[in-house]
Amino acid sequence: MKRLRNRRISDTETVVERRPISNGVKRLGVNIDHIATLRQLRKGTYPDPVKAARVVERAGADGIVAHLREDRRHINDNDLKRLKESVTTHLNLEMSIDPEIVAIAIKTKPEQATLVPEKRAELTTEGGLDIISLKLKVRNVIDKLKDSGIKVSLFIEPDICQIDMAKEINANAIELHTGRYANAAAKEKNKELAQIKKSARFAAEIGLAVFAGHGLDYENVTPIVNIPEVEELNIGYSIITRAVFVGLENAVKEMLGLINPR
Ligand code: PXP
């Protein structure tokens, strides 16, 4: 069942919006890349990330996140095609600004694209995309994706100048990188959290939708959930690894319970 509906955000632009957040309800997007990472260990067909996406949706998540990396280390082109056919909630394609990947996104037409930096040697995405130094390239990609009806979110550091630039180059949303907060030693955590709060407030004030993600887990997610401007959390590793012990459906439900406590 699709939770999509259209919302006018300005006189000139219509964006796709999902579950309304006016009552403070937050959305959870689950990143299923690491189901494919497990499959790639044996280069077979099991476990299938598309089947995992169905379980995640059945558990109540609001969307599926998948990163088609340039090196195809986990999600591959066929996974993405099958996810597009199968996902009934909201497909968020994490992607670099590489022209080959942009062309695939335009052909696939996920509901949303999240632009991220990508380095071949990294274990996972390291830090936000520097949209100030990449301004022209990123703006060009945003224009192309939006022309194809894809909503664009930029994964950036919680930094006022980066957020200002996201607005200037017409992103629909930003995803604040929470990795530094997640990895900070106890005495640094509040400083990182304060920066995320300030950034979220500023972004919402200038009309950007605010998402957050990276490194969030069952222990550290609540302070991020408590930031009123954060509409959506995108979480992968902690949920997929928790699934080893409690099953995927339960792992998603436990996270949903933290994101929208009764
Ligand atoms: N959001 C973005 C933009 C990401 O790149 C990632 C990692 O793929 C995530 C969220 C999820 O991060 P984690 O797997 O640490 O929960």
The residue-averaged pLDDT of 135-144 equals: 98
Q: At what angle do helices 237-246 and 248-259 cross, to 10 degrees?
A: 130
Identify the band that residue 11 occupies on the pLDDT scale cut at 50, 70 and 90: very low
Q: Which residues pair with 155 in a beta bridge?
A: 175
The Å distance, Cα 175 to ligand 1 centre, comes to 10
Instruction: Give me the mean pLDDT over the 113-140 stretch.
Output: 89
Q: Determine the Cα–Cα distance for residues 127 and 176; give it in Å rounded to an integer.
A: 10
Active-site residue identified among 34, 74, 90, 214: 214
Q: Is the pLDDT of residue 98 over 50?
A: yes
90 belongs to the catalytic site = no
Q: For residue 177, list its beta bridge partners.
A: 213
Q: Answer whether 92 contacts ligand 1 (Cβ < 6 A).
A: no
Nearest CA to ligand 1 atom 4: 214
Question: pLDDT-based confidence at 21, cuts 50/70/90?
Answer: low
Res 19 pLDDT > 60: no
Encode pLDDT of 172-215 as tens digits.
Answer: 999 999 999 999 999 999 999 999 999 999 999 999 999 999 99
The model's pTM:
0.91
Quick check: 88 pLDDT over 60?
yes
Phi, psi of 196 (to 5 degrees): -65, -40
pLDDT 10s digits, 203-254: 999 999 999 999 999 999 999 999 999 999 999 999 999 999 999 999 999 9
Active-site residue (options: 34, 67, 74, 90) = 67
